[in-house]
Amino acid sequence: MGVQASIDDLRALISNENISLLRDAGCPLGAKAARIQGKINPPSMTGQVSGNLKCKRAEVTIATLNTTGRVAASSTASSSSGASETISTPTTPTLKKRFRLELQQTYQSCHDCGFFFNSAELIVEHSAGTLKRSRGGPFWVRNQYDLHGIINFDISQIPSNATINKATLWMVFHEQKGIANADSTSVVTSYGWINGEKLVVKKESAKDIKARGCNKVNNNCPFDYTSYAKRIHSS
C-alpha cells in the first residue's frame, strides 16, 4: 500500500514554527512531499515515510526538504453497540532553543545590489566549551525578488548554567555575486525569535560589512550575534 501526502496533509505532526520556516523558504505546502508505504494487517498499520521537496523563490532553490521516518497506527472495535478507533501517531517534539534568523534586504541601493552567501557557520564560545553549527547555501538576500536568508540552528546543547561569551555567525559571500563592489548603502536586517516573538535583532549596511574588510575576495565574513544568542539561552 502506498499513499502520498503534502505538508498541509501532515500539519498535525508539524509545529507552527516549522510550518512558518517552510513557508518562508518558499516550500509549496500543498505539493506532494512525502510517500507513506507499508502494510495493513488489521487492526494495525505500519509504514515508512520518505520524500524530497525543493523549495524555490524566483526559480532559485532556497532549501531542500528531505522526509524520512516511520508511522504506525492501530484500531480497536468496541461492542456491537458501536465502534471506536484509536490512532497512534508521532507527536511534535518539544521545541528546542533555536538560533533562528531571517535576513532581509530592507534597503536596496541599486537594481543588482544584493547579498549572496555560499554557506554559514555559527560558533558560540561559552564557559563550558564551544558549540559549532553549519549549513550550506545558497542564501539569497535580495529585496527585488523578496528573497530572505533563513538560518536555523539548535543550540540547546549548551548547558543551561553556562555563560555565553561570544557568538559569531560566519557567512561566506559568493565569489562573483556576493556583494556589489559599488554598493555601500544597501541594508540587511536580521529578524530573530525570542519565545515565539519575531523581532529585529540588528541592521547592517554594505558599508558596515566592507568596513570589516569583507568583500567577494575576502569572503568569509563574521557577524556578531552575541547579544541575540544570550537572549535565546536565557529565555
pLDDT in tens, 54-81: 776 555 555 666 667 676 666 544 333 4
pLDDT at residue 5 in the model: 72
Average pLDDT of the segment spanning 201-224: 96
Q: Is the pLDDT of residue 190 over 60?
A: yes
pLDDT at residue 88 in the model: 38
What residue segments make up the domains of the chain, in order of their start? 2-74, 98-234
pLDDT at residue 73 in the model: 62
Average pLDDT of the segment spanning 199-206: 96
Tell me the CA distances in angstroms from 50 to 21, 32, 37, 38, 87, one per residue in order: 20, 11, 8, 11, 20
Look-up of cell digits 549596511: 205
Half-sphere exposure of 163 (CA within 13 A, CB side): 2
DSSP 8-class letter at 10: T
pLDDT at residue 82 in the model: 42
Q: Which of 65-74, 83-92, 103-112, 220-229 has the lowest mean pLDDT?
A: 83-92
- C-alpha–C-alpha distance, residues 147 and 234, integer Å: 31
Tell me the CA distances in angstroms from 163 to 128, 159, 233, one per residue in order: 8, 9, 9
Tens digit of pLDDT for each residue in 110-129?
888 999 999 999 999 999 99
- C-alpha–C-alpha distance, residues 89 and 74, integer Å: 9
Q: Is the pTM of this model over 0.75?
A: no
In this structure, what C-alpha cell is assigned to residue 51?
Answer: 520524500
- With residue 34 as reference, give the H or E element that holds it: strand 32-41
DSSP 8-class letter at 223: E
Q: In what order do the strands lie in the sheet with 32-41?
A: 2-6, 32-41, 44-57, 60-74
Q: Is the pLDDT of residue 135 over 70?
A: yes
DSSP of 51-94, one letter per residue? EEEEEEETTEEEEEEEEEEEEEEE-----TT--------PPPPP
Q: Which of 7-16, 39-48, 84-93, 200-209 has the lowest mean pLDDT?
A: 84-93
Kindly indicate whether the domain formed by 98-234 is annotated with CATH number 2.70.98. no
Average pLDDT of the segment spanning 135-155: 90
Average pLDDT of the segment spanning 22-39: 72
Tell me the CA distances in angstroms from 151 to 102, 135, 196, one per residue in order: 6, 9, 15
In this structure, what C-alpha cell is assigned to residue 31?
Answer: 505539493
Average pLDDT of the segment spanning 190-206: 95
Average pLDDT of the segment spanning 168-173: 97
DSSP of 124-136, one letter per residue? EEETTEEEEEEEE
Tell me the CA distances in angstroms from 61 to 21, 53, 78, 144, one per residue in order: 15, 10, 50, 16
